Structure 1
Amino acid sequence: MEGDAVTLTQDIALGLWAQLELFLRSLLRPWNAYQIAIAVGLFGLAHVLNALLGPICREWMRQREGWPKWRMRLLVMLHRRLRLIFFVMLIWPLVWLMQTYTWPSRSYLLTIFAELALAWLMIAVVTRLIGNSVLRALVRYAAWAWVTLSILDLTEEAQTLLDGWAFEFGETRLSLWLIVQAVIVIGVLFAMARFISTTSAAQVRKNADISPSMQVLVVKFLQVLLYGSAFFIGLRTVGVDLTGLAVLSGAIGVGLGFGLQKVVSNLVSGVIILLDKSIKPGDVISLGETFGWINSLGARYVSITTRDGREYLIPNEDLITGQVVNWSHSNDFVRLDIYFGTAYGDDPHKVRKIAIEAAKSVDRVLSVKPPVCHIVGFGDSSVDYILRFWIRDPTGGLTNIRGNVYLALWDAFQANDISIPFPQREVRMLGDQAQPG
């Protein structure tokens, strides 16, 4: 098969070389040379217009405040191809005039240039819908190459050449031509799937009746369904036999299953987390030494942002198998405890009342669940108390609210002459000689 492909490649190359020689000889004709000169002149004029009007358009774009992001991205993309847009706007009216008032042969090359420029511009605009940059570039260059071959009437030779290079496994034949078709079709289907997924996700997130965890689950399910359907529909569209691929993928899956146990475990754990709603975006959790709120739920990990701005990516499996403290699982109420002591000479009834009023004066302390203060013991030098109060915004921090309550206690005790004892020690200096008894 390899020898046949080489022979076929040589035959096609010789044929293309003969056509190239014929084209170069045709350039010696005056009107063909004139058309090339006209195209070069129009491109130069488009370059001048781009240099003159490009900065004006850029300044106009900067003044468009409040426009949607997609519209601004479209304007930026068109501004980058302003030279090509001017060339298309200049060459097509000239082609129409020449086709109307002259013979077709005198506008043949200009028509090819115009069709190529318009096709390249349309492909650049359409492929911008593809989100993945690598896939977008691949589809764009493939489409540019195929459109160029179509306009130059070389598609049959290119298709024969690509179809000649192929390999077979079982009853499945895979050629370069089939791969090119699959990439283009799957790329277009992926772009459509991405557009539908983004639109659907926005609608799901706007629905207040769906819980945050179910929103994430629905969005992930839609993405898997749409992208999976796009992949298999694309393969079926170009004629790939999925039976052979099913056997091959089954064998590969068995081999990868042993090496990707952790990955699969994290994926399954992610689905379980979404289904049982144990945690959801916005919850405040503690896992070991990590304390923060959940930023997003991923397929493999959970993003947790702490108070110091660090973002931890915790594998889903750790949240299933480890002990997690969810401060806002069933509600947002969080109770905090602080300990303090006062001197034995201070009335404990008065101390408890003052402590409760001091805690109530702090902004984030809830009045619907009022603070309480209890004696917890009689220490060596103080009466020990515990002050308990509730908040409902743990994302605002715990250390700062404790500090504010301590400051309120300090001010209240100072205003009411309540002392906070501290241990006192007496140090005695002994001389070199023992004192007489």
Structure 2
Amino acid sequence: MTHMINQWLAQMGWSAQKEQLAVAAALFAVAALAGELAARLGGPACMSWVQSRFGVRGALSSKHLPELLRFGAGAVILAFPLTILPFDGPALMVLSTGFSAALAMTVSTVLRIGGMPLWTCIILAITIFVLTMAGALGGVGPLTASLDATALHVGMRRISLLTVVNFLIVAAVLFTATRVANHLVTHAVGRLSALDLSQRALIQKLGSLAVVLVALLFGVDILGIDLTTLTVFSGAFGLAVGFGLQKTFGNLIAGLILLMDKSVKPGDVVAVGDTFGAINKIGIRAVSVITRDGKEHLIPNEQLMTQPVENWSFSSRDVRIHIPVVIAYDSDLKLAQKLMIQAAKASRRVLPKPEPSVWLLAYGERGLEHDIMVWIIDPEQGVGNVQSDILNRLWELFRANGIGLPYPQRDVHLHGEPLHKPGGANLPPADDGR
């Protein structure tokens, strides 16, 4: 069919370079217009669909979808005439430049959606642009031969520029595929409501490790690397693990043990040292704990394995709070304790069962010391605000019912005259003859 089109175009006088250049420019304009329309019309719809399916993660990636539609549509439109029609000279240069640029930007946008760093996307986009231009203008054969001829000999090994380019392309593709596969695994496991949070996190971590391992095996197979040549590297890697990466791998294993042991899981309220908050994520290296102040503490996994950890929601989410209160000695004890129970029950977050209770602890120096004990079921919302709410209600009740709070008291005792007199020496007390 392509041969018939070429014959028909030759009969129509297609050989004129001006006509070819005019058609190429028109095709270039059509591709640019179609790409812009695809981005403006289809971009918002695609962004809404991705955000509805994948939530916040989808929102972060969907911002590049208009660019993907713009450059992808342009590349598709320019690919057909560049392949079928016999362009040459300036017209071929225009079409090949437009197609190569659109294809390079399309691949770069896909890599950015997959989480590839910007500098890596730029390098790969330039590489794809050069390779596509070479293929459109004269074939990839001469270019690959030139790249393979530029080589460096390291011992018995020959490392050519073509090998480096192949390695970069394979690494970029596998990295993007790994990121996409990890997102899909995380999203699929997150929707399994039959599993608890700890089991979901464990499966997600194991799935991520499996995806990375499969990607490495594919990369080794595609690049044709002989595994026997990695024996020296594996020995060096073992030494690195033994000396420099011991803590890293220790934290990795500790994280997996924490997930399998279920001693801590996302959503638990824990206290580790001076840090108190809810676990947000159990990562490969550290556990993320968010405090009530909004600060996110990254605690190494090994620390949760080797140090005492208070888990407020390990076996039950019910937590008892102690609120100390001191009243004056001349107060009505029974009425004061009744008002303490009343203030505790009126707090919104206090559970009705078990009921709040009040204990008289001691006859203190300042007054009667009490301990109000209440139960809550949502410790991740904080405990200080519950205590503040109860004490505020209790203050109003005490004032309305004449219950007094003790004030600090100090007694000062004066004994005799001072032994030191101004302007004179220190004198002993006078002898009165007794």
- Name the CA shift for 1:249/1:210 in 2 (closer, same or farther; >3 Å): same
Displacement of 1:399 after TM fit?
1.4
* Local SS of the residue matching 1:401: helix
Displacement of 1:55 after TM fit?
10
**Alignment of 1:285 onto 2:270:** yes
The aligned counterpart of 1:20 is none
Cα deviation, 1:30-75, whole Å, max 9, x if unaligned, reads: 944664576467657877x69xx96996599679984434695354
Equivalent of 1:350 in 335, 340, 352: 335
The aligned counterpart of 1:128 is 109
- Name the CA shift for 1:201/1:60 in 2 (closer, same or farther; >3 Å): closer
Stretch deviating more after TM superposition (303-312 or 348-357)? 348-357
- Name the CA shift for 1:268/1:292 in 2 (closer, same or farther; >3 Å): same
* Local SS of the residue matching 1:368: coil
**Alignment of 1:76 onto 2:58:** no
Distance 2:401 2:329 in 1: 15
The amino acid of 2:231's aligned partner reads A
The amino acid of 1:376's aligned partner reads L
Structure 2 unmatched ranges of 5 or more: 1-14, 52-57, 420-434
The amino acid of 2:50's aligned partner reads P
Distance 1:42 1:63 in 2: 27
Query: Would you say the 8 A contact 1:159–1:177 is kept in 2?
Result: yes
**Alignment of 1:313 onto 2:303:** no
Query: Would you say the 8 A contact 1:186–1:230 is kept in 2?
Result: no
* Local SS of the residue matching 1:384: strand
The aligned counterpart of 2:349 is 364
Cα deviation, 1:167-221, whole Å, max 9, x if unaligned, reads: 3556x65433223223223322332332222112111111122222222221122
- Name the CA shift for 1:429/1:388 in 2 (closer, same or farther; >3 Å): same
* Aligned pairs (5 A) from 1:177-326: 177-326=162-311
- Name the CA shift for 1:293/1:263 in 2 (closer, same or farther; >3 Å): same
TM-score scaled to structure 1, two decimals? 0.77
Distance 1:246 1:433 in 2: 91
State, as a whole percentage, how many aligned pairs show the same letter. 33
Distance 1:391 1:143 in 2: 60
- Name the CA shift for 1:232/1:136 in 2 (closer, same or farther; >3 Å): farther
Aligned residues: 393
- Name the CA shift for 1:264/1:433 in 2 (closer, same or farther; >3 Å): closer
Query: Would you say the 8 A contact 1:182–1:235 is kept in 2?
Result: no
Displacement of 1:141 after TM fit?
2.8
**Alignment of 1:110 onto 2:91:** yes
Displacement of 1:361 after TM fit?
0.5
Query: Would you say the 8 A contact 1:91–1:110 is kept in 2?
Result: no
The amino acid of 1:167's aligned partner reads H
* Local SS of the residue matching 2:290: strand
Query: Would you say the 8 A contact 1:304–1:311 is kept in 2?
Result: yes
Distance 1:372 1:432 in 2: 54
Displacement of 1:285 after TM fit?
1.3
Distance 1:55 1:292 in 2: 49
* Local SS of the residue matching 1:68: helix
**Alignment of 1:148 onto 2:126:** no
The amino acid of 1:417's aligned partner reads G
Structure 1 unmatched ranges of 5 or more: 1-29
Distance 1:93 1:182 in 2: 31
Distance 1:91 1:159 in 2: 22
The aligned counterpart of 2:422 is none
Stretch deviating more after TM superposition (422-431 or 389-398)? 422-431
Cα deviation, 1:348-393, whole Å, max 9, x if unaligned, reads: 3333222112100010111121111111111234222111111111
CA RMSD in angstroms, aligned pairs only: 3.7
